[in-house]
Chain A
């Protein structure tokens, strides 16, 4: 598959902004989206034929105390309340990284306690670069992924085969998967049926969202070749603290909102980083993502709901 670089204009053109939220219906033919109000997040779960659900949260940045959000614990709790109020308890919750702001033990402890209040069948996570900044992830992996001998793993739940990847260690430009992880992905995917819906989680976007700010993964193109045989592929990432969506052939790609603070639109400022928005508007920039796996093969609905 040809690697596609998105310039800023194209980014903004195909970017799905969710002032209130956007709900998508995925089919093999492509993606259809329509705006929805945050309260309508239940819509995805009430579509006829809907099946299991899971939730993606991202970039909680516990330990952040900057101007952009003076209380990241409070906004994380609001997100948790929103998950716990969903009409259908999610089969699992995936945190796509930057659980902590500075990889401090007390930050990880706080995250873990808060995550324990989520009503869900299982919890998974992948690390962000903030979670590995001191020790290449040693503490993070000891607290959150002790069951896996490697920083990457897969699981079968909610009717999908999910890959949970790490692309934040030893980064030199954008994210990096590395030779060992790519080889593992190739092998793991070779064991799956083409009709099995595949969901790929990682922190840094597995697409060239905005390479100028490192919002890409250097070797994602090779991963895409291993995903080509499958009828339904959904890639869910974090890192950029805003919802971005694009189709790359059969691969549906989404980044998620943070629960802590937004970041600027690509190129709208000289540098990325925490964005301070007008008082009272913060919750409209933060959110959770509810994903419904339909009984019809290859149909997955992704619904982003803001916190306010």
Chain B
């Protein structure tokens, strides 16, 4: 798996930092995800497969890292509708990470195939 942006490294660092400081690890019980979305600690994985985000709607606590992985041999992107994050082109097997630190609703799409849509809903930390 290849990370596409430096921000990914930052994300890992932030997660490790929050754990080491004894902060409550973000809960993963709020995931309204289907298909093969899986949650581990404060990371949620979403696969991009057959021209779809396999967990098109997920709800996560603030501070959660979402990792998208493209399984298609056609490139896709994970692009926020408001431009706040953008994976740029992901080839087959490429992954993109983004840490959602602020509560809110984040609709996103694939810039190459705009009919591919997803939404990340970020809840406040409890």
**CB-contacts of B99-126 with A (<8 A):** 111-115
A173 CB–B CB distance under 8 Å: yes
Q: Which residues of A contact B88 (CB under 8 A)?
A: 133-135
A102–B112 contact, CB under 8 A?
A: no
When C-beta atoms are compared, the residue in chain B nearest to A129 turns out to be: B112
Complex CA–CA separation, A139 to B113 (angstroms): 20
B114–A171 contact, CB under 8 A?
A: yes
Chain B proximity mask over A198-241: 1 for CB below 8 Å, otherwise 0: 00000000000000001000000000000000000000000000
Complex CA–CA separation, A171 to B110 (angstroms): 10
Chain B proximity mask over A56-74: 1 for CB below 8 Å, otherwise 0: 0000000111111000000
Given contacts A101-B91, A102-B75, contact A214 B115 (CB under 8 A): yes
Q: Which residues of B contact A171 (CB under 8 A)?
A: 111-112, 114
Complex CA–CA separation, A74 to B44 (angstroms): 40
Q: Which residues of B contact A297 (CB under 8 A)?
A: none
Complex CA–CA separation, A171 to B77 (angstroms): 13
Contacting A271 at CB < 8 Å: which of B50, B91, B114?
Answer: B50
A274 CB–B CB distance under 8 Å: yes
Size of chain B's interface in residues, with CB distance under 8 A? 16
The smallest C-beta distance from A302 to any residue of chain B, in angstroms, reads 28
Size of chain A's interface in residues, with CB distance under 8 A? 23
B63 CB–A CB distance under 8 Å: no
Contacting B114 at CB < 8 Å: which of A68, A133, A214?
Answer: A214
A133–B51 contact, CB under 8 A?
A: no
The smallest C-beta distance from A216 to any residue of chain B, in angstroms, reads 12
**CB-contacts of A254-308 with B (<8 A):** 270-274
B114–A274 contact, CB under 8 A?
A: no
Given contacts A133-B112, A171-B114, A214-B114, contact A272 B51 (CB under 8 A): yes
B74–A172 contact, CB under 8 A?
A: no
When C-beta atoms are compared, the residue in chain B nearest to A174 turns out to be: B114
The smallest C-beta distance from A134 to any residue of chain B, in angstroms, reads 4
Q: Which residues of A contact B89 (CB under 8 A)?
A: 102-103, 130, 133-134
A66–B73 contact, CB under 8 A?
A: yes
Complex CA–CA separation, A65 to B93 (angstroms): 12
Contacting A274 at CB < 8 Å: which of B50, B74, B91, B115?
Answer: B74
Q: Which residues of B contact A270 (CB under 8 A)?
A: 50
- Known contacts A66-B73, A103-B89, then 12 further A-B pairs from the complex at CB < 8 Å, ordered by chain A residue: A65-B73, A66-B92, A133-B88, A134-B88, A171-B111, A173-B114, A173-B115, A214-B113, A271-B50, A271-B51, A273-B51, A273-B72
